[in-house]
Structure 1
Amino acid sequence: MPSFAPIRSVERAIDVLMALNRYPVCSLELLYQQTSIPKPTLVRLLETLQHKGLVTHAPQYGAYSLASGVKQLSAGYHGEPRIVEAASALADALTRQIKWPLALAVLDYDAVVVRYSTIPNSPLALLHSTINMRLSLVGRALGRAYLAFCTGEERRALLDILKLSANEEDTIAHDRKAVLATLRKIRQQGYALREPGIRPVSRTLAVPVMEGRRVVASLGMTWIASAVSDEQAVKRYLEPLQDLSRFIGKRLADL
């Protein structure tokens, strides 16, 4: 529940923008019919939005329409924000069911970065937060799930970048033959596990998130290693993770 009442003037400004978005041009009368906002208030809102470059007015026709400035409002809505919106509610629901925390990670140059986590909904999480945590592409399950399912060209470029990495977990990338063999196995089995020996108190099982044929993120579940074996985790949780990944891909297509 919200901790305060919505700001009415902001609600009304958004209602006006949404109404203008439904028609190429709007008269004041049409906007009044669409929003039920009193006309004097509508005029003040429209003049304010015009001042901010979001609305244009043709006085000779008494018409209002959206201005090109509205494009700036959606300029940041792509890539990561879109993926998080597609995944967050679904991931929260799965954690409430299985209790273990989930994380959604996206590529950031030479690593994947956690952009969403269900730790707040998990009673079994070992960390307070993993948001913005950078994870190795070759050592961590979330990184491996991305690297294994990206295109061959992207994979080669990323492995070349990792040769220069100072991250101790990336030293595995120096043995290109071994890494490629591991990635082939991950593609065959459809999931990735964290490299043994890296933070052994816990384990992570991860799968790719696909938008069409392109991998756009990775989705992982982390558990306490002493509570569940790798084999048990795969048997119990791989199918729900894969189902969730497919649902996220469908939501991305819908968005």
Structure 2
Amino acid sequence: MTERESSIRAVERAITLLRALNQMPVSTLDSLHQLTSLPKPTLIRLLRTFEELGLAARGARPGEYRLLDGVNALNSGYHHVPRVVEIAAPLVRKLTEEIKWPIAVGMLDVDALVVRYSTIPYSPLSLLHSSINMRLSLVSRALGRAYLAFCSSEEQEMLLEVVRQSHHPEDRLAQDREAVQAMLDQTRQRGYALRDSTVRPVSGTIAVPVKAKEFVVASIGLTWFSSALTPEKVVDRYLDQLLDVSRRISEQLEN
């Protein structure tokens, strides 16, 4: 195993352990071993690291561990979510008021894009009552694809390694390295992402990345009824407006 592969594996294990710790107020070493399938010596090393970083502490009894409030600082975009949403909200709301279709703002959260803002309340053309906090696959959903395709190659590689550990049906594409790479290449060439047509075929989503300097910090996506429009018509009618909103968000983030 190369040094790079070893580093990625270490990140995967740390994320796996954090998820397991988050399932219970207090966890034992035995329960963590059962949940993660990680060797106990590995768990102990990671837990000691978490203690040193202020992310976890030992419980009242030997072999017990619990998360500390410091883990909240690991939340993706912890410092940036309010600013991105503050800037994006009036821009995407105005666009929805013009074109009627709902628009969502998604940000990375470990292995998925999470909807942090949506104009559904301002759209007469939505299938959902709300999409706030929905977790969207990085490889099958438009918002996730837009982020994954345009982030750095290093971040992309690490995220794909994490998603390959997922058992969610929508993440299955990550297992096919050639297919997922073809999808990412096509997305970059187009300049926008589309949702996998087999996922919720009643509607479609087109999404573009939002950058701050050279880094992708979010993605914005417009959803439409499949019975009303084809992807080609959506691209023709709305892509330029979506890209313009993305550009304006980026400009304000960099100021």
TM-score over 0.5 for the alignment?
yes
Map Cα deviations across residues 143-167 of structure 1 (whole Å, 9 max, x no partner).
Answer: 0000000000111111111111011
Aligned to 1:224: 225
Higher mean alpha-carbon deviation, 127-136 vs 158-167, is at: 158-167
Mapping for residues 22-61 of structure 1, pairs under 5 Å: none
Match status 1:207 vs 2:211: no
Match in the other structure for 2:98: 97
Aligned-partner Cα distance in 1 for 2:180–2:226: 24
Amino acid at match of 2:79: H
Equivalent-residue separation in structure 1 for 2:78 and 2:97 (angstroms): 28
The 5-angstrom pairing of residues 116-127 of structure 1 reads 116-127=117-128
CA separation in 2, counterparts of 1:193 and 1:83? Answer: 22
TM-score, length-scaled by structure 2 = 0.69
Task: Give 3-state SS (helix, strand or coil) of 2:131's partner.
Answer: coil
* Counterpart AA for 1:146: Y
Q: Which amino acid aligns with 2:240?
A: E
1:130 and 2:170 aligned: no
Give 3-state SS (helix, strand or coil) of 2:96's partner: helix
Partners of 1:217 and 1:176 in 2: how far apart?
24
The code of the aligned residue for 1:219 comes to I
Query: Following superposition, which runs of at least 4 residues in structure 1 exceed 2 angstroms of deviation?
Result: none
Query: How much has 1:78 moved relative to structure 2?
Result: 2.3
The CA deviation at 1:77 is 7.6
Asked which structure has the greater CA Rg, the reply is 1
Corresponding position of 1:236: 237
Corresponding residue for residue 68 of structure 1: none
The residue type paired with residue 175 of structure 2 is: H
The match for 2:195 is 194
Distance 1:177 1:150 in 2: 18
The CA RMSD measured in Å over matched residues stands at: 1.1
TM-score, normalised to structure 1, is 0.69
Residue identity in the other structure for 1:212: K
CA deviations 1:1-34 (Å, max 9, x no partner) are xxxxxxxxxxxxxxxxxxxxxxxxxxxxxxxxxx
What is the letter of the counterpart of residue 141 of structure 1?
Answer: A
Partner of 1:12: none
Partner of 1:170: 171
> Which residue number corresponds to residue 113 of structure 2?
112
Percent sequence identity over aligned pairs: 58
- In structure 2, give the amino acid aligned to 1:119: I
How far apart, in 1, do the equivalents of 2:80 and 2:231 lie? Answer: 32
- Cα shift readout 1:148-206 (whole Å, capped 9, x = no counterpart): 00000111111111111011000010001110111011111100000011000100000
